[in-house]
Structure 1
Amino acid sequence: MERNKTLDHIFSLLGSMALSEAIDELETFGAAHPELSLDARLREIRSDYRLMFDYWSKGFKDEQLELVYRNFIYRMYRLTADVGMRYAIAHSSYLTAIDNRVRSAGRDWSPAALQAGLEGFVSDVALLELEPAHVRAERKLGLHRAHRQMMNDLFDYIWTSSQWTDSTAESMAQLLLAPTVDTIDQQLIVSAVMLGCMNMFDINKFRVMLTVYRQSSDEQVRQRALVGWALSAGVGMHHIFPEEREMVGGLLADEHVCKELVELQIQLFYCLSAENDNRKIQQEIMPDLLKHNGLSITPNGIEEKEGDSIEDIIHPEEAERRMEKVEESFRRMLDMQKSGADIYFGGFSQMKRFPFFDSIGNWFVPFYPEHPAISQAYGTQADTRMIRNIVDHMPFCNSDKYSFVIAFRQVVDRIPQNIREMLANGSVAGMEAVAAEEQGKPEYIRRQYLQDLYRFFRLYPSRSMLYNPFGHDADGHVFNYVFFANPIFSATPLEACYGEVVGCMMKRSMYREAASVLANCSVPGRDFLYYMHCGSLRLHHPAASGGLALPQASACFEEALRLRPDSAKALSGYARAKFYDGEYAVAEYAYARLSAMHPERKSSVLNMAVCMVNLGKSDEALKHLYKLNYESPDDDRVNRVMARALVCAGQYDKAEKAYLALCAGQEAEPEDHLNHGLCRWLAGDKAGAAECFVEYVRAHGGDAGVAGCRSLFYADVADKERELLAGNGITPTEVHLMCDLVCDLAFRIR
């Protein structure tokens, strides 16, 4: 929604409990926007606050002072939030149209009237069964049409509503838990409450979703409530509403709740990958399917078309190869789907332009055949069977089911007979049907709902008017979808699950998001995994690790070792961190310990040898390297370290042979030419050294001209190898001369 910086500043003041300043700021804002009509409520708050202030300033002691002051903060928040909603509506033609429609319809939106109307609808539908068959269909359509319009209006009314009172919240919770109200209506209302609470935090709407999640016996309603309160929890609002933390803390005492929150957080990551997964399907999987178009999809699966009989005789294995390629492509998609990927996003995203999706409520309404927009699309009995076989058994989210039915009706007359038969039998080639038992599981219900949400926030035309839980804040640092980073979860039992969630983030290269969760971990909750993840971020992704408690990777791994002294992973991280810090003696000792713990791992010995070389102990390093070379003569990693050690030991002839082999190999790296050049230079072969350095420059592009050549030489040779060169008697003057020689050979400047 349209945000106002002044109002955001007032919310910030309230979060820091600066009541008087917030009142002054809101009064100034109200004077600039008289159309918002906030004077009366603000005057009342100011007057009451002044009475309390005068009482306190005269020396009277009030045992309820803190509670009274917090109540003023609460009242000011409610007023500011209501003003913010009215401001957003007034500054958006989209919201103004919604507000005018739902509030000028003359409906009674009170919870009592709503419950009576919703229960009446259930009764009316049940009574339809008593009607004669020839009038039942028409009356049923009319009944559902009127109800759908009312529910769409109700959805808009709720999510644009002002702050709820305690009594409104209690009544709405009862409505959402009532067994006499249709589950479809309850699910839609929960989504509206979520959307409203996302856009303007309301502690009472938040309380309703927690209550429904805790008490509902309807899993569909319950999972929507879980997603709702997790994504709409106001960041920092627990300062204003301490009961928010208390309510959440009470839930988190249940291990099952923590488990569901972990699953929800990870499922959100899969939603964010929908477009990348679609690109993978379009660029890697679909081309294979299209390439092998000698196949057709039939009711019996994939079969080969009648082809060239001569070709079949000459290349009988080709048909089998094509079949294997197609089956492999289908298997890849199925594997993606089973792992949680949203493989249908790309295809169905093109079907969200139907007028059906102009109404915001239709993005959130559960799929049901009686929806007036699709009920007549079922047509004949055969068509009905085809549609139901698809929507009942394929893993489509609700909005995709509506897209499918609407599109199906438009093309049903043009569908080939063999495809119609396949659909009538309930099969789609390459796609596995989902059993009813699986569809009833909480994780499946939640995944389908999250896919609906992702489609809405990515594709709804007016989405820019709304808070987007899948996006970032204005400065790009707060990730709304990472609700684990919300302070209300800090110092709660959920911290025990941080390691699992952060590990998932790290695997998906979500390093900033991982850092935001780790930064939310309280001191008592910092366990072994916490320090390991922090160390990894500090070591490999320092730009993403701002805000973490420990400044250095080595300190993180040191803490991990304190908790688990025998952990090889922690010791390996510590050794690498110390190596990067240039503390080669400490790193050497750590790698020696690793080698003793796991003598079969040659990488520890190899890294220890590198530390020895950097410490000037080349002869000692060579003892280990000769053994490694004997065991693995073709291992270029060993050969590179050994060649470097030979150079540092002054054994240039042996090093020359090693570098010639490395530079001639298929796995040659640019640094091989650089180190080969150092070897020749120290051996006195200046021309040969320059030739190697030229190869190094060319391997780095070599198109930056003489200036680029000089810059690269001074950075990677003169600066990095200063100690080695000086220790072997090469003066700064010779370094400059060598640079000129390299540029001369590379660009013929003389």
Structure 2
Amino acid sequence: MTIQDINKTYSRIIEWLDRKELKNAFDGLQGLIAGSGHYDFQDKLNELQETYKYMLRYRMDGIQDPMQEQIYRQIQASTYELADMVKQKALAVDSPLYFYSRRRSLKQSCAVSYTYLYQQLSSEPDIQAAHADISAKQQLEAASLTLFNKIWISGPLTTEEVCELQAILQDTEMPESVGCQVVSALLLSLEEYFDKEKMTLLFDAASSQKQEISVRALIAILLVLYKYRKRTSLYPFISDRMHALAEALPSFSQTIQTIILRFILSRETEKISKKLWNEILPGMMKLSPTLGEKINLKDLNPEQLGDEMNPEWQDSIFADKELSRMMTEFSELQMEGADVLHSTFVHLKNYPFFREIGNWFLPFDAGHSVLTSGFKGNQNELHLFEQVTQTSFMCNSDQYSFFLSMLQLPESARTAMMGQFDGQAAEMLRQNQEELQEKHSKVEQIAGRYIQDLYRFHKLFPSHLDFDDIFTYTLDFHHLAEVKPFISDAVSLTAIAEYYLRKNYFQDALNIFEELIQQDNENDILYQKAGYCRQMNGDLEGALKDYLHADLLNPNSKWIIRRIAVCYKTLKQPDKALEYYHRYEVLNPDNLSVQISIGHCHLELKNYNEALKYYYKVDYLDTTSHKAWRPIAWCSFLTGKYDQARKYYKKILEAQPNTQDFLNAGHTEWVLQNNKAALAYYKQAVEKEGGDWFKFYKQFEQDIADLKNAGIEEEEIPLMLDQLRYML
């Protein structure tokens, strides 16, 4: 059986188990065992099948057994676990994947017990010596990496091993970094296969008094719950431990919410990187005071269904300002905690330090031997660079990259750099650090940095393709059954939904707004936001339905009234659009955009004289943009006021004419029997299209009916067009 066959068979088994098709799963497992030759699992498979057959027989005979549901769950869970074990053993010898190759190469170095490593890491004389002796420090760091690797490549943990690891996690004297590494190793191992004992250890870590360990463990728990969401319900202890954590940690729900928001923000990383390289940096290179183009896209139809949010929502969601300068926008992203530095450090992960997988998750320590040995005891230099990293939003991984890159500079260059940091610069660094602490809570900072560390690993680790990239998934943790009880309240869900909304993840936001509407169907704001999400997803009919519901609940919202009007107009129902535009007109009679939109509705309804009234009003009140000239000219043509149409087209052509302007001016001259002028305008229209006759004719063809209504004989049309061709 090839490696590809093993993986395909395993995937099918998991799919069958997810659908609770146990007979198919058993058959698939039988094939996997036979194909891989690992018959030592046969007895376990036979036992599971026999138990399942007995359960089915009792069920079919109508025998009531209060333990039946529990037995069914245990069979399913055990089958999942058996499939994992068979796959692991089948791939152990030959798989080139990084996990299996490292498991083979590290087998000897990780043969020591957890108790032995615990003793190494907790030896007080060794810890004290490490501060003074670089070799002692290196020995402790090596022990920590061995612990990480041993957990990562381990199989299902025994009861004894669980107790040994619990002792490490519960030791309050143990360096915090050790507990953090235990958590990351457990997470990485659980990404390979599910082990309920390792999951139990994550819950133990989440109960730690050390916040860094606790928050990291909660992040790991959420990721594991998401990855195995089809099977976690088979383990009742998970729900029990979640509730126990909620009782033990006063801010449990708030921390979960913070983590969820941070994962939503991580989705922005690639967009931010592209924006940085494609817009911000090039923009800085060519920025000039003359920047500013005049765009007139709304002249013909200013009431397109825009994407502006209701200003009234700003009380409940973050203000998304129109930033006047690109650097200000970048600064805002930084202050929000967005991962703005990912692209900066992409090429700074090739140092030997990052060859050890455990170092990608290591909490930053300026006293790490790889740094202190490089700075050769220059504590002032080390302290300064540490200040820089602490105030620059760098995650742990990037802080190591920064220090390692500084070590590549000649000592003279580093000294010169230090000389530029006077007392004022140091004060600025201190103020930046205080601002960061005020803006983001400790939990936000820990979660943000650890999620960025995880992001770096899954995107930049040399063998990252051998790992399941968690950041390619939706990661909608709020839908997980084990998480829902703690964030299903309206306040938590609203915060998550509005963060999705702000970041333009409209479907994710809509899913939550729909859930909130089920809880409170008298809240017009929820219907507004649901409608807005549908609109931005292109579902105008669904958006209109929500907007109409919001209007019933709050008939005085100008934003909603106008949205409904524009929806009807976009859906080609100008008569209904007019009803709502007139309602808006009562509330805001001087809005010229609405006035011209009313005119457009009358135009579509062929109420040309009524349309002209509104266009005249706009033209009278708006003495600068002249956006009403084109509709006045065309309506004048349609109503037989050809001299007036000619007057307006003359003004339009003196400004910035487009193809349609030349075309309509030509129509006007033709109807006024000025054929030569008509031909000249038609020729300019073709030239405006780059000489493309077919583009010109496509537009001309749409106006033939109007030309006939204006008195142009049908047989004259091909003659005019042929004459035009001869002129081109």
User: Which residue identity lines up with residue 561 of structure 1 in the other structure?
Assistant: D
Question: SS where residue 118 of structure 1 aligns?
Answer: helix
Instruction: Report deviation, 1:278.
Output: 3.6
Instruction: Report deviation, 1:285.
Output: 3.5
Aligned to 1:156: 149
Is the counterpart of residue 422 in structure 1 residue 420 in structure 2?
yes
User: Which residue identity lines up with residue 227 of structure 1 in the other structure?
Assistant: I
Query: Which residue among 623, 636, 640 is the counterpart of 1:646?
Result: 636
User: Which residue identity lines up with residue 578 of structure 1 in the other structure?
Assistant: Y
Question: SS where residue 366 of structure 2 aligns?
Answer: coil
Distance of 1:194 and 1:557 partners within structure 2: 44
Structure 1 residues 539, 198: CA separation in 2 closer, same or farther (over 3 Å shift)?
Answer: same
Whether contact under 8 Å (1:557, 1:574) holds in the other structure is: yes
Structure 1 residues 148, 418: CA separation in 2 closer, same or farther (over 3 Å shift)?
Answer: closer
Q: Cα deviation per residue 1:609-652 (whole Å; 9 max; x = unaligned)?
A: 21111111121222222222211122333333333333333323
Is the counterpart of residue 610 in structure 1 residue 590 in structure 2?
no
Instruction: Report deviation, 1:264.
Output: 1.5
Question: Superposition pairs for residues 456-475 of structure 1, below 5 Å?
Answer: 456-471=457-472
Structure 1 residues 485, 566: CA separation in 2 closer, same or farther (over 3 Å shift)?
Answer: farther
Aligned to 1:321: none
Query: Which residue among 356, 371, 374 is the counterpart of 2:353?
Result: 356
Aligned to 2:701: 718
Question: SS where residue 111 of structure 2 aligns?
Answer: coil
Aligned to 1:397: 395
Question: Superposition pairs for residues 548-587 of structure 1, below 5 Å?
Answer: 552-587=542-577
Distance of 1:462 and 1:65 partners within structure 2: 45
Structure 1 residues 628, 149: CA separation in 2 closer, same or farther (over 3 Å shift)?
Answer: same
Task: Provide TM-score, normalisation by structure 1.
Answer: 0.77
Whether contact under 8 Å (2:118, 2:168) holds in the other structure is: no
Question: SS where residue 376 of structure 2 aligns?
Answer: coil
RMSD: 4.3
Task: Provide TM-score, normalisation by structure 2.
Answer: 0.79
Query: Which residue among 97, 101, 105 is the counterpart of 2:101?
Result: 97
Structure 1 residues 615, 75: CA separation in 2 closer, same or farther (over 3 Å shift)?
Answer: same
Q: Cα deviation per residue 1:251-296 (whole Å; 9 max; x = unaligned)?
A: 899652464145324432443344125414542346789xxxxxxx
Instruction: Report deviation, 1:355.
Output: 0.9
Identify which range, 520-529 or 445-454, moves more after superposition: 520-529
Structure 1 residues 248, 136: CA separation in 2 closer, same or farther (over 3 Å shift)?
Answer: closer
Aligned to 1:441: 442
Instruction: Report deviation, 1:517.
Output: 6.6
Whether contact under 8 Å (2:226, 2:475) holds in the other structure is: no
Query: Which residue among 568, 572, 587 is the counterpart of 1:597?
Result: 587
Instruction: Report deviation, 1:99.
Output: 0.9
Query: Which residue among 96, 101, 107 is the counterpart of 2:111?
Result: 107
Any stretches of 5+ residues in structure 2 without a counterpart?
Answer: 289-324
Aligned to 1:228: 220
Question: Superposition pairs for residues 114-263 of structure 1, below 5 Å?
Answer: 114=115, 117-118=117-118, 121-124=121-124, 129=128, 137-138=132-133, 141-162=134-155, 175-176=168-169, 178-200=171-193, 205=198, 208-209=201-202, 212-213=205-206, 215-234=207-226, 237-238=229-230, 241=233, 243=236, 256-257=254-255, 259-261=257-259, 263=261
Identify which range, 58-67 or 230-239, moves more after superposition: 230-239
Aligned to 1:493: 488
Distance of 1:603 and 1:194 partners within structure 2: 56
Question: SS where residue 470 of structure 1 aligns?
Answer: helix
Distance of 1:522 and 1:642 partners within structure 2: 45
Identity across matched positions, percent: 21
Structure 1 residues 368, 649: CA separation in 2 closer, same or farther (over 3 Å shift)?
Answer: same
Instruction: Report deviation, 1:699.
Output: 4.3
Aligned to 1:312: none
Structure 1 residues 522, 601: CA separation in 2 closer, same or farther (over 3 Å shift)?
Answer: closer
Query: Which residue among 7, 24, 27 is the counterpart of 1:24?
Result: 27
Aligned to 1:283: 282
Instruction: Report deviation, 1:78.
Output: 1.9
Q: Cα deviation per residue 1:571-613 (whole Å; 9 max; x = unaligned)?
A: 2222222111111111111111122222242222221221111
Distance of 1:85 and 1:691 partners within structure 2: 79
User: Which residue identity lines up with residue 434 of structure 1 in the other structure?
Assistant: Q
Distance of 2:724 and 2:550 partners within structure 1: 48
Is the counterpart of residue 624 in structure 1 residue 624 in structure 2?
no
User: Which residue identity lines up with residue 365 of structure 2 in the other structure?
Assistant: Y
Distance of 1:91 and 1:522 partners within structure 2: 50
Distance of 2:588 and 2:161 partners within structure 1: 65
Distance of 1:525 and 1:203 partners within structure 2: 38
Distance of 1:176 and 1:449 partners within structure 2: 19
Instruction: Report deviation, 1:658.
Output: 2.2
Distance of 2:418 and 2:588 partners within structure 1: 62
Whether contact under 8 Å (2:97, 2:466) holds in the other structure is: no
Structure 1 residues 535, 87: CA separation in 2 closer, same or farther (over 3 Å shift)?
Answer: farther
Instruction: Report deviation, 1:72.
Output: 1.5
Structure 1 residues 558, 47: CA separation in 2 closer, same or farther (over 3 Å shift)?
Answer: same
Distance of 1:378 and 1:198 partners within structure 2: 37
Distance of 1:203 and 1:120 partners within structure 2: 27
Alignment size in residue pairs? 675
User: Which residue identity lines up with residue 394 of structure 2 in the other structure?
Assistant: F
Identify which range, 446-455 or 151-160, moves more after superposition: 151-160
Question: SS where residue 434 of structure 1 aligns?
Answer: helix
Structure 1 residues 335, 576: CA separation in 2 closer, same or farther (over 3 Å shift)?
Answer: closer
Whether contact under 8 Å (1:78, 1:163) holds in the other structure is: no
Structure 1 residues 686, 23: CA separation in 2 closer, same or farther (over 3 Å shift)?
Answer: farther
